[in-house]
Amino acid sequence: MQQRALGHTRRSVSAIGLGTWQLGADWGQVSEQDAAAVLAASADSGVTLFDTADVYGDGRSESFIGRFLAARAGHDIVVATKMGRRLAQEPENYTPENFRAWTDRSRANLGVETLDLVQLHCPPSAVIDDDATYEALDELVAEGRIAAYGVSVETSAQALAAIARPHVTNVQIIFNPFRLKPLDEVLPAAEAAGVAIFARVPLASGLLSGRYTAQTTFAADDHRSYNRHGEAFDRGETFSGVDFEVGLKAAAELAASLPSGVTLPAATLAWIASRRGVTSVIPGARNVAQAQANAAAAALLDDGFDVEAFDRAVHEVYDRDLRAAIHPLW
């Protein structure tokens, strides 16, 4: 597995990491046993980045990771957590006191003195644009509560604002074949600034698995049932903001462009990881088979898969089916 520099830190992270929202909540039931098996399968496959958040299952995801890593002496895994959604996303809640309380809770959940990396969890633009935000985060670093910080964002404009800040280690943004806007400015700006990019929702919440049909249904406690139109949080977090039927057609077109033996999710992850400026892709996995397949997709980067042919298909499909609806929004 390729390992890449994590911004200006001395750490590195795998080209394909693991998203662990699934191990918390909002994706139907994932048992503690399955969660531990997903973490182990990923680590055993060379994954050295786990992305989590204090709100995933109200600490469930962080606690599973903490217990798993405590039993894995000498590991080199970077845990990127997030903070800022335990209260309403109002600018007045992003105070140094709340930052301390939130990071103290994550330190306890993860069982560490110093958090490797904390990302603000999609805060309002006013917070991303405020000098006081970064002063407070710098204090957390000086206090040893966190080693580094970043910002998870919804829009390209927010990403550019965060990238411009000197001590930001990473920006996390939705980037996948159904969401190409980051190619325009965000990835070049991040590369120039040495800011790491984590590409989230890389499989468009599973639409790019190529497994779903018009008959596919999701559990009532799965956001793919209850947030299709942005009822609970930003619509872009569910299926990348793409209408389900439109996404099915686009996924089928992309799958048809692939040589036999290469699956759509593997091609998608390798394509994302191969774009300049991307540091790590963080697919979520609900079971061991998915975790192993996703990590194994990194091999496509080295084994002759024609990623530029897939790139052409991605642009064709996006321009024809998706650009008009998606490009102006995020």
Ligand X SMILES: NC(=O)c1ccc[n+]([C@@H]2O[C@H](COP(=O)([O-])OP(=O)(O)OC[C@H]3O[C@@H](n4cnc5c(N)ncnc54)[C@H](OP(=O)(O)O)[C@@H]3O)[C@@H](O)[C@H]2O)c1
Residues that bind ligand X (CB under 6 A): 19-22, 27, 51, 82, 121-122, 152, 172, 200-206, 209, 211, 237, 265, 282-286, 290, 293-294
| Shortest reach from residue 150's CB to ligand X, in Å | 10
Nearest to 64, CA basis, from 106, 23, 28, 104: 23
To the nearest whole angstrom, how small is the minimum distance from the Cβ of residue 22 to ligand X? Answer: 5
Q: What is the closest distance, in whole angstroms, from the C-beta atom of residue 61 to ligand X in the complex?
A: 8
Closest C-alpha to 54, from 14, 87, 95: 87
**Across the strands, what pairs with 281?**
16, 199
| Nearer to ligand X among residue 136 and residue 208 (C-beta) | 208
For residue 13 the two structure tokens come to: 């992270």
Q: Which is nearer to ligand X, 165 or 200 (CB)?
A: 200
Q: Give the shortest CB-62-to-ligand X separation in angstroms.
A: 11
DSSP annotation of 318 reads I
Cβ neighbours, 10 Å, residue 70: 12
Question: Which CB atom, from 25 or from 122, has the smaller least distance to ligand X?
Answer: 122
319 Cβ neighbours under 8 A, 6+ residues apart? none
Distance of closest approach, residue 142 Cβ to ligand X, in angstroms: 25
Q: How far is the CB of 23 from ligand X (least distance, A)?
A: 8
| Alpha-carbon distances of 89 from 84, 93, 120, 254, rounded to whole Å | 7, 7, 11, 36
Q: What helix, strand, coil percent values describe the chain, rounded to 5?
A: 50, 15, 40
Q: Which residue, 22 or 158, is less far from ligand X as judged by CB?
A: 22
SS3 194: coil
Nearer to ligand X, 177 or 277 (CB): 177
> Element (H or E) spanning 315, and its range?
helix 307-317
Nearer to ligand X, 144 or 200 (CB): 200
- DSSP secondary structure, 113-174, as one string: SSBSEEEEES--HHHHT-HHHHHHHHHHHHTTSBS-EEEE-SSHHHHHHHHTSTTEEEEEEE
With respect to ligand X, which residue has the nearer C-beta, 192 or 235? 235
Kindly state the smallest distance separating residue 29's Cβ from ligand X, in Å: 11
